[in-house]
A and B are shown apart, each in its own frame.
Chain A
């Protein structure tokens, strides 16, 4: 397996393209995860606490959307932002923003479902306690986040993991353009297809380490 030896050599060769690709992956997935977290947490809390018509439907749809195939999401976003689509005039196709949009669709249901699950079970207790002690809605939100932070952090990490590992959606809406929309997963796919295994393995190692590191770090933080 001199592919692996070659891989390590490549990693330390300071090839700017590799750092570009890694950087873009992280930025895109991080932004997507942040946006998804904001939407997902708010949605999950509201879902767990308030009651409103069609709530059961919305919960089921939420769970169903957790299983959205990434490539189908990519296809859907493509149809919308393509020049001929309804949002064509924004020229978003083949840009990092399109990739962020696609990933937000994929990650938000995951975060909101996980947050909903934990708020449903523990949230009411916390909210009532907070209210009886005279807390404002902001206090309530802060306390909820504090008490449920372990689950919320797990939800965010899971979401990030999904965003950074997926390849179908970003390939379709991003186009894997060199220096522009090439991320770790599409880079691996391209080099694999060209038989350049050492480059794919190098990037695969980075992706693996990143995913593992993020998970470990966040869980350590959550445990404190």
Chain B
């Protein structure tokens, strides 16, 4: 009896107390919001999580193509935009469902080690060496404007400021390949290892007046805001190849294998490949990517 009385007293206090009422209101509101968020998180169809190279986001490719895929298949796609190196780590841990990057050697190794099942080449374009107008003169002699090895040698010999992605992304790996080929270990004060995405590094190169390696997509996208121009165009050694790699479901659980395969096949579809080849033509007068996909 006494317990009941105490309980009732408590109830009365709680229901009449101004602060408790306020607190309950706020708490209810927040619980409702939390429930809404949780519901949205789970009843929404299992999303497809893709680790994509920053260059794909920076060029506008993903903004253009992902909504088309989402519409066609009713799948929510979540893009984790990171350097290829980090993408591979995420994929190894099973934190993403698919890789869409441009680091061919690392991708092949990834499949070899059993983390990936299938690697499909989707498209390619080029990397460029870009820099401020004032530096064009430095590269005019020799064949530095068409041979990246000569250009990098020049950068090293003349101690020209160079910004490196420094994040084991596809772009960075390509850069490292060139230095390795020349047997150069860049350790100049003028060599900066940034550790950020493509657009960030391009921005910094612009601000600091330095040289950097950039993919065609990002450069075309940001060109109008920059005071940089193409210094070296090397169609032999600066090919930038993008592939999709599907992950091995026996390595990690909870992968959205179905959606990943659908996306991969969708990208290889003839109609989409054609559209890839037309991407950017309206905006820049020239294509950004060249489709390579064969089913």
Tell me if chain B binds chain A: yes
> Could you tell me if A94 and B80 are in contact, using CB atoms closer than 8 angstroms?
yes
Of the candidates B20, B34, B202, the one having the most CB atoms from chain A within 10 angstroms of its own CB is B34
> Could you tell me if B80 and A177 are in contact, using CB atoms closer than 8 angstroms?
yes
With A138-B10, A138-B14 known to touch, is A94 a contact of B197 (CB < 8 Å)?
A: no
Convert B190-207 into 0s and 1s, putting 1 for each residue whose CB lies closer than 8 angstroms to a CB of A. 000000110110110010
* B95 beta carbon closer than 8 Å to chain A: yes
> Could you tell me if A180 and B78 are in contact, using CB atoms closer than 8 angstroms?
yes
> Could you tell me if A93 and B20 are in contact, using CB atoms closer than 8 angstroms?
no
Which residues of the other chain, A, contact B80 by a CB distance below 8 angstroms?
94, 175, 177
> Could you tell me if A31 and B95 are in contact, using CB atoms closer than 8 angstroms?
no
Q: Give the segment of A6-14, A107-115, A139-147, A208-216 that binds chain B.
A: A139-147
Interchain CA distance A84-B96 in the complex, whole Å: 12
The one of B27, B197, B206 in contact with A34, judged by C-beta atoms closer than 8 angstroms, is B27
> Which residues of A are at the interface with B, using a C-beta cutoff of 8 A?
27, 30-31, 34, 82-84, 88-89, 91, 93-97, 136, 138-139, 142, 145-146, 175-178, 180, 193-195
> Could you tell me if B19 and A146 are in contact, using CB atoms closer than 8 angstroms?
yes
> Could you tell me if B95 and A97 are in contact, using CB atoms closer than 8 angstroms?
no
Which residues of the other chain, A, contact B37 by a CB distance below 8 angstroms?
27, 96-97
Which residues of the other chain, A, contact B253 by a CB distance below 8 angstroms?
83, 89
Closest to B81 in A: A176
Of the candidates A91, A136, A139, the one having the most CB atoms from chain B within 10 angstroms of its own CB is A91
Q: How far, in Å, is A167 (CB) from chain B's closest CB?
A: 14
Which residues of the other chain, B, contact A194 by a CB distance below 8 angstroms?
58, 199-200, 203, 222
> Could you tell me if A83 and B252 are in contact, using CB atoms closer than 8 angstroms?
yes
Closest to A78 in B: B95
Which residues of the other chain, B, contact A96 by a CB distance below 8 angstroms?
37, 41
Of the candidates A27, A30, A34, A84, the one having the most CB atoms from chain B within 10 angstroms of its own CB is A34
